[in-house]
Structure 1
Amino acid sequence: MPVKPALSRLRGALPAPPFRHTHDREILRLAVPSFFALVSEPLFLLSDSAIVGTLGTQALGGLGVAGQVLLTLANLCVFLAYGTTSAVARRFGAGQTAAGLRSGVDGLWLAVLIGAAIVAVCYPAAPWLVQALGASPAVAPYAVVYLRISLLSTPALLVILAGTGVLRGLQDATTPLLVAVGTNVANIVLCAWFVLVLDWGIAGSAWATVIAQTAGAGAYLVVVVRAARRHGVGLAPSLAGLRASATAGFALFVRTVSLRVVLLVSTAVAARLGDPELAAHQVATQIWSLLVFALDAIAIAGQAIIGRYLGASDIAGARAATRRMVEWGVFAGVVFAVLTLALRPWAPLPFTDDPHVHGLLLSALLVVALLQPLSGVVMVLDGILMGAGDQRYLAWASFWTMLAFLPCAALVRYALPAGSPHGLTWLWIAFAVWILARGITLGARARGGAWLVAGAARP
């Protein structure tokens, strides 16, 4: 088949190409820096792992166990970024920048309070948390040391999340990118110095994290405090503002917990299918997560843009921006699907030389590829409804879609015969049912008008 006609037909089958719509510039202005900020952290964490790896297998295992605890805490508190973005963007769109900064200051105070509570609870519980994750006696001491030291940076980490939400609400995605890159580079440099030069062991890596994240939090505080003073906003916490931030945050917390349950159950089912299935599932999940980063960047742009439009009472603009961002999500999803299918034959090679795992991974990646266009729509609509402040609906929708997934996962676990060669494929089909359920619930909400509440604050 001639190449040019085939490419022409492929272009005709894709959604409308980018850069041809009035909303494209603002979408890109927010999505591109957000994408690089999202990608920077896992890339730099790989360097951190490489440095700790020089200390031996037990130290690296301790970093992995403690890192899972810290990652879970960060994921559960990501509502500090999402909820703050929505609240600040609405007021910014309404021309009430001072009120938006007031919400942002309250969000920062809430981050400090939650961070202090996490340290108070988790520091003494560190040995139990490490044991609960199944760390061996040789790995556990390293994990406890790293976890306890790194927990001291939790308030700073949550301030970074809330500060990111403030700036995105003010339609600034560049400053969060610069802070993210600066923080991660500082972490790597300090980790190398403390571990490789000063010989502090795994504690050196943890102290590098504490120092780098504290510096990142300090950068956000400087930016937000300067803006607050410029607009005459006080820095003391407001009880009403803290209550409003906590209320919105609780709904997003429920949403996040529901998502985490799906991912944890998927891993647990894969583990019970067998070691090869678990290995293949781990790689497939990491590839899916990498693709989600790019789609999440569009969702983050959606949070800021939709909040601003609704704050300005521009319902038509919010509808038009929603439509365009969904097109972007579909376009990116189709591109990722084509890339995944094209690279699929070689994807297992960097991860395994086991032919069994290789075959399992190829089957799972087929489902991963086919999910991408729908995943694009789901991620974008999730971000749009967050930007609209529709957190209560998102919480309930996430809960019910989680309940739709659990019976499917149970069927894979208990209905398939032992040693079934297609168990992992059916697990990813169950995962696809969850994505489809999310698409239906989010799409139905977006087509209606209940989420389009105009004004500086959502009642």
Structure 2
Amino acid sequence: MGKIANPDGERVAPRRVLGLAVPALGVLAAEPLYVLVDTAVVGHLGALPLAGLALGGAILTLVSTQLTFLSYGTTSRTARLHGAGRRAEAVSEGVQATWLAFAVGLLVLIAGQSLADPVARLLSGDPAIAGRAVSWLRIALFGAPLILITMAGNGWMRGVQDAVRPLRYVLAGNGASAVLCPILVYPVGWGLEGSAVANVVAQLIAAGLFLRALARERVSLRPRPAVVRAQLGLGRDLVLRSLAFQACFVSATAVAARTSTEAVGAHQVVWQLWIFLSLVLDSLAIAAQSLVGAALGAGSARRARGVAGQITWYGLVFGVALGLLFAATSGLLPHAFTSDTGVLAQIPHAWWFFVALQPVAGVVFALDGVLVGAGDAAFLRTATLGAAVLGFLPLIWASLGLGWGLAGIWTGLSVFMLLRLVAVLVRWRNGRWAVVGAVRAS
């Protein structure tokens, strides 16, 4: 067991891993948690509002997760500089990432307002579902610049191994959202749109706190185009990787929407649980990003390899535990999200795939974190694109043509995850990712 957990490297104290992973867990869980709150609140309005939330949420997620390099890429570059003892330069990476986040967020907001309706109609076979999705999305898009600023803030703080402040900031925002959402949806009477307003309020609070923290650092706040270009170099591969994810995930929602209103509602419930647990598992990957990047920045490939093996083992154990937990609650938990009998009847077609994939996800996400922390984005791009093209996408669209429904959609996800598992395990074991230095060449 020790050999598996720590191949050819140095262990770090479990307390150090947990000191980064536990606060990161709160941050990572916060966004899908308030989407789960939205799902539970809106789900009791009926199948149509729930389907509109599913489609609108998928489109907004497509935009925001496509730009996760603002978080993960910033962590990688910042952690190497922090490990080399160059804190001011590390924080400066956060300044430049924040400028980039603000500029890109404004573009997303402006473009999204005009594209929301045609995109929703393209992805949904039902005009009623598309109409509800657009109504939610036009409000939610005002949070796009705020979401991206929060990503950049998380990225640089993780890189300098400050995991506690991001947790406080995100909890402040999402605590407000959790209170506002049911109030705006029901007593105020705004319905589905009330959940979108609550989310924007949460994003405004969190982004404001990150901006205040950055302003208090003793570094220049002026834009530095050379640093921004370097961030975009790493971001290029992470964006392409995210495109592969989003082509798969939006296709899954689109196929579910074309199956039936009940099917897309069921997919929304199980899919949001999947996203939530993916980010729970990714808390270990955040610790890996910070620790691996710092070790390589300090010139210690041996320590980086040790962290990689250790966190991979933790991810496997964590994934098995989550799979057992959700297997045990299969008869009760779906009722917390909807009372619609048609939606509840469809949920088991996806549920058991979701349960079985948790151990696989635990290993895949842990090693993703290791490779992102090492700046090995080009490999991750290629592996993810290959798994999408060979595994997920063919099965997703075959499900539509052949009528396989949710079982076909989740079979595609399973093949996608297994292909990624093989790829990252091979890369981990060959050790080519462990390149030392304060900055890794693109």
TM-score higher than 0.5 here?
yes
Which residue number corresponds to residue 407 of structure 1?
394
Match status 1:368 vs 2:354: yes
Q: What secondary structure, in the 3-state scheme, does the structure 2 residue paired with 1:152 have?
A: helix
Deviations 1:120-139 (A, max 9, x none): 32233344344445497777
Which amino acid counterpart does residue 88 of structure 2 have in structure 1? A
Q: What secondary structure, in the 3-state scheme, does the structure 1 residue paired with 2:228 have?
A: helix
8 Å contact 2:47–2:261 — kept in the other structure?
A: no
Q: Which has the higher contact order (CA 8 A, sep 6+)?
A: 2
Distance between the aligned counterparts of 2:280 and 2:170, measured in 1?
16
8 Å contact 1:345–1:362 — kept in the other structure?
A: no
Which residue number corresponds to residue 429 of structure 1?
411
8 Å contact 1:298–1:380 — kept in the other structure?
A: yes
Which residue number corresponds to residue 314 of structure 1?
300
State the superposition RMSD in angstroms. 3.5
Match status 1:79 vs 2:69: yes
Percent identity between the two aligned chains: 37
Distance between the aligned counterparts of 1:50 and 1:133, measured in 2?
23
Distance between the aligned counterparts of 2:191 and 2:327, measured in 1?
42
Q: Select which of 397, 408, 432 maps to 1:450.
A: 432
Q: CA deviation at 1:391?
A: 1.0
Deviations 1:13-57 (A, max 9, x none): xx98xxxx6431121111111112222333334555677789999
When normalised by structure 2's length, the TM-score is: 0.84
8 Å contact 2:172–2:205 — kept in the other structure?
A: no
Distance between the aligned counterparts of 1:238 and 1:138, measured in 2?
47
Q: Select which of 366, 372, 386 maps to 1:386.
A: 372
Q: CA deviation at 1:390?
A: 0.9
Q: What secondary structure, in the 3-state scheme, does the structure 1 residue paired with 2:110 have?
A: helix
Distance between the aligned counterparts of 2:285 and 2:21, measured in 1?
8
Which amino acid counterpart does residue 86 of structure 2 have in structure 1? Q
Distance between the aligned counterparts of 2:101 and 2:87, measured in 1?
21
Q: CA deviation at 1:96?
A: 0.8
Higher Cα Rg, which structure:
1
Distance between the aligned counterparts of 1:366 and 1:193, measured in 2?
34
CA gap 1:49/1:263 in 2 versus in 1, 3 angstroms: closer
Q: CA deviation at 1:141?
A: 7.1
> Structure 2 unaligned runs (5+)?
6-10
Q: CA deviation at 1:97?
A: 0.7
CA gap 1:271/1:51 in 2 versus in 1, 3 angstroms: closer
Match status 1:242 vs 2:224: no
- After TM superposition, the structure 1 stretch with the greater mean CA deviation from structure 2, 372-381 or 181-190, is 181-190
8 Å contact 2:43–2:339 — kept in the other structure?
A: no
> Structure 1 unaligned runs (5+)?
1-11
Match status 1:112 vs 2:102: yes
Q: CA deviation at 1:327?
A: 0.6
Distance between the aligned counterparts of 2:379 and 2:431, measured in 1?
13
8 Å contact 2:46–2:340 — kept in the other structure?
A: no
Paired residue total: 432
Match status 1:92 vs 2:82: yes
When normalised by structure 1's length, the TM-score is: 0.81
8 Å contact 2:159–2:290 — kept in the other structure?
A: yes
Distance between the aligned counterparts of 2:184 and 2:174, measured in 1?
15
Which amino acid counterpart does residue 332 of structure 1 have in structure 2? F
Q: What secondary structure, in the 3-state scheme, does the structure 1 residue paired with 2:216 have?
A: helix
Q: CA deviation at 1:302?
A: 1.1
Q: CA deviation at 1:281?
A: 4.4
- After TM superposition, the structure 1 stretch with the greater mean CA deviation from structure 2, 349-358 or 286-295, is 349-358
Q: CA deviation at 1:117?
A: 1.4
Q: CA deviation at 1:119?
A: 2.1
Distance between the aligned counterparts of 1:390 and 1:458, measured in 2?
9
